[in-house]
Amino acid sequence: MIEVKGLTKYYGEHAAIRDLNFAIDRGEVIGFLGLNGAGKTTTLKILGCVLLPTAGEVTVDGIDIARDPHEVRRRIGFLPDTPPLYSEMTVGRYLTFAAELRGVPSAAAPRAVAEAEEKTATREVHEELISSLSHGYRQRVGVAQALVHKPKLLILDEPTSGLDPVQIVEMRSTIKVLRGEHTILLSSHILSEISQTCDRLLVIQHGEIVAQGSEQDLATQLGGGGTIEIEVAGTSARAIEVARTVTGIGDCTVIREGDGVALLSLQGAPDLRPKVARALVGNGIDLLRIDRGAARLESIFLKLTKEPEAPAQ
Amino acid sequence: MKATLLIARRELGAYLRSMTGYIIAAAVLIVDGLLFNAFALGGPDKLSAEVLSLFFYFSSGTTIIASVFISMRLLAEERQTGTLVLLTSSPVQDWEIVLGKFLSAFAFLALITLASVYMPALIFVNGKISFGHMAAGYLGLLLLGSATLALGTFGSAIARTQVLAAIFSGCIVVALIVCWLLAKVTEHPLNDVFVSLALHGKHFPPFQSGSVHLRDVIYYLMVTYVALFSATRVIESRRWK
């Protein structure tokens, strides 16, 4: 769906992004991860045909964005970090305007608007003025304008920015609804957000892609291979002994033990969870909880974006 | 062209839904009315054609000022609020965005200008004027407004805020008006250049007195075209920055 080769963008003398290379397949949900100023927004703006690159080649659905940006824009829906909303319009009028602007015929616009409102759960505010909406609704109307013309590619820059926990959950379910219908590229600071909604991650640091792949791939690349957290009744010794019999499980660490409950961290891919569970239960150990390592993505992110230490003087 | 009309329709709706639009319209009509009453109708006895000419003279001033204020929001506000991205990420050419914005402002200015028609119509009560004179005067006001709005659109494209946009376009408009005065203090051939550039002193008086010259029409249309073309180039250049 997207092919990026040698993408570079300079703002004056400063390189915002340098020689980016990546590809995204149709239907994938990709998370774009990076610290502030890493070059996420610049990259998304170039893919959204808002900015032109200084060098490099980007094709969306086989069309070069520099040669035929007009045609590319028909195929994309773009939500910038601040939703582009006209506060004096009602949600319905605004979405109709966005739909017609993106080439939806006037006769088909009401249906397209209704579908977009359905997917983003904004139907109930159809007649409301945008200026009167809460931040969460504004963000969802922003997503609705991006998908109202049914684009093949949806680019969402920080869709959960500034949302409260309830609104984040709502936005997450909105993105899940869109999965499958669109190829989605989203950036976020919230790591759990990326972890829960994306198939693959692109980690950008100082304008360069430092890693790409699934969470599992990245963990493997960084030598971690992932972790599994288990909570068992009783002591940790027997559970460790049994867990180690499962092929692929490495070091076992006791995180917490007491009151007849032990919390352990097992070095191993999260895919091994069913095998570990069967082994524990088969050996008569009461398994209270099994999950992937909670802090995993954070540690991957920190490793990837860690500044190199300055040489000693 | 469909996108141009869509943008123009939305923008015109924004003028009509905002207080700013009504404040500008009310201010123009009040000032026009006061000046018409004080200077055109008042004072020593005048011929009806002179009264009408004075009305257009004062209206040209309010039209210029109103145009600067109407156009200041066109692109600068979109940039300020971040809504310009909606247009620049849509399958719309940059010239369509600029033209749509300009057309909405022109339609709004035309509504205000034509709302003042009752004033020259009052001359019919005690005098006699030709419809041709009125039509020429209003054509002149609309052409002058079109040129000033286009300059304002350019000012709005280069500015980050509406206030800066008003200042930039105000400076450009004043510079073009002052060309008429500069022509009087400079020698040939420089004075010819200043005369032909003068936004008001050279090109508006014929309309004011009921004459329509092709050279004046072409001048205002050229200013409009060049200013809109420049505004489009500014928007295009932003994609490179």
State pLDDT tens for residues A70-122.
899 999 999 998 999 999 999 999 999 999 999 999 999 999 999 999 988 89
Residue with structure tokens 């329709």?
Answer: B9
Tell me the pLDDT band of A309, cut-offs 50, 70 and 90: low
Domain count, chain A: 2
* C-alpha to C-alpha distance for B14 and B23, rounded to whole angstroms: 14
Average pLDDT of A128-157?
A: 92
- pLDDT score of A224 more than 60: no
Contact criterion met (CB < 8 Å) for A101 and B3: yes
Indicate whether A232 belongs to any domain: yes
A76 vs B89: CB contact, 8 Å cut-off?
Answer: yes
pLDDT of A295 > 90? The answer is: no
Q: Quick one: A71 and A183 in the same domain?
A: yes
For residue B240, what is the nearest residue in chain A, using CA coordinates? A52
In this predicted structure, which of A66-75, A161-170, B196-205 has the lowest mean pLDDT? A161-170
B85 touches chain A (CB under 8 A): yes
Question: Predicted confidence band at A176 (pLDDT cuts at 50, 70, 90)?
Answer: confident
**pLDDT (mean) for B92-114:** 96
Residues of B in contact with A74 (CB under 8 A): 91
Question: What is the rounded CA–CA span in Å between residue A200 and residue B144?
Answer: 58
pLDDT at B233 over 90: yes
- Domain-located, residue A310: no
| A97–B6 CB contact, under 8 Å | yes
Tokens, residue A162: 């500034």
| Total structural domains within chain B | 1
> CB A101 to CB B85 under 8 A?
no
A116 and A180 inside one domain: yes
Q: What is the pLDDT of residue A252?
A: 84
Query: What is the percent of chain B with per-residue pLDDT over 90, rounded to a whole number?
Result: 74
pLDDT surpasses 60 at A197? yes
Question: Which one of A213, A242, A264 terminates a domain?
Answer: A213
**The pLDDT value given to residue B188:** 86
The better pLDDT of the pair A39, B168 is held by B168
Instruction: Tell me: do A49 and A147 sit in the same domain.
Output: yes
> Is any Cβ of chain B less than 8 angstroms from the Cβ of A61?
no
Residue B38, pLDDT score: 85
> Do A193 and A167 fall into the same domain?
yes
pTM for this entry = 0.83
How does pLDDT run across A253-281, given as a tens digit for each residue? Answer: 888 888 889 988 888 777 788 998 999 99
Those residues with Cβ within 8 angstroms of residue A225's Cβ, 6 or more apart along the chain or in another chain: A219, A250, A267, A268, A269
CA atoms within 13 A on the CB side of B91: 17
Answer yes or no: do A201 and A241 share one domain: no
Q: Which domain holds residue B231?
A: 2-238
| CATH number, position A163 | 3.40.50.300
Whether the per-residue pLDDT at A294 is higher than 60: the answer is no
- Note the pLDDT of residue B140: 96
Distance from C-alpha of A217 to C-alpha of A220, rounded to nearest angstrom: 5
> Could you say which of A169, A185, A213 is where a domain stops?
A213
Residues A155 and A76 sit within 8 Å (Cβ to Cβ) = yes
Host domain of residue A281: 223-299
Q: Is A201 in the same domain as A235? A: no
Q: Tell me the pLDDT band of A313, cut-offs 50, 70 and 90.
A: very low
Q: Which residue has better confidence, A19 or A224?
A: A19
pLDDT number for residue A199:
84
Whether residue A103 sits in one domain with residue A64: yes
Using DSSP bridges, classify how beta strands A29-34 and A14-24 pair: parallel, antiparallel or unpaired.
unpaired
Are A51 and A135 found together in one domain? yes
Average pLDDT over residues A201-206: 86
Range in A57-71, A184-198, A209-223, B217-231 with the lowest mean pLDDT? A209-223
Indicate yes or no: CB of B6 within 8 angstroms of CB of A103.
no
CB pairs under 8 A between A and B: 63
Q: How far apart are CA B120 and CA B131, in angstroms?
A: 10
Q: A299 pLDDT band (50/70/90 cuts)? A: low
Tens of pLDDT, residue by residue over B112-168, are 999 999 998 888 888 888 999 999 999 999 999 999 999 999 999 999 999 999 999
Query: Does residue A308 carry a pLDDT above 80?
Result: no
Task: Note whether A156 and A235 are same-domain residues.
Answer: no
Asked whether residue A308 is domain-assigned, the answer is: no
User: What does the pLDDT read at residue B91?
Assistant: 93
Confidence of residue A249 (pLDDT cuts 50, 70, 90): confident
Residue A283 sits in a domain of what CATH number? Answer: 3.30.70.980
Residue A155 in domain: yes
Is A309 part of any domain?
no
| Helix/strand/coil (H/E/C) assignment for every residue in A211-251 | EEECHHHHHHHCCCCCEEEEEEECCHHHHHHHHCCCCCCCC
Average the pLDDT over A232-246 and give the result.
88
CB contact under 8 A, B91 and A52: no
Dist CA B220 CA B174 (whole Å): 15
Q: Which of A191, A204, A182 is nearest to A4 (CA)?
A: A204
Q: What is the mean pLDDT of residues A201-207?
A: 85
3-state secondary structure of A28: coil
A172, A25: one domain: yes
At residue A30, does pLDDT exceed 80? yes
Least confident of A225-234, A274-283, B103-112: A225-234
pLDDT of residue A311: 52
- pLDDT reported for residue A135: 87
Residues of B in contact with A11 (CB under 8 A): 241
Give the ipTM of the model, two decimals please. 0.88
- Mean pLDDT score of chain A, rounded to an integer? 85
Q: Cis bond leading into B189, ω under 30°?
A: yes
More confident residue, A34 or A110: A110
> Do residues A227 and A267 lie in contact, with contact meaning Cβ atoms separated by under 8 Å?
yes
A265 in the same domain as A193: no
Q: Are residues A264 and A200 in the same domain?
A: no
Residue of A nearest to B4 (CA): A101
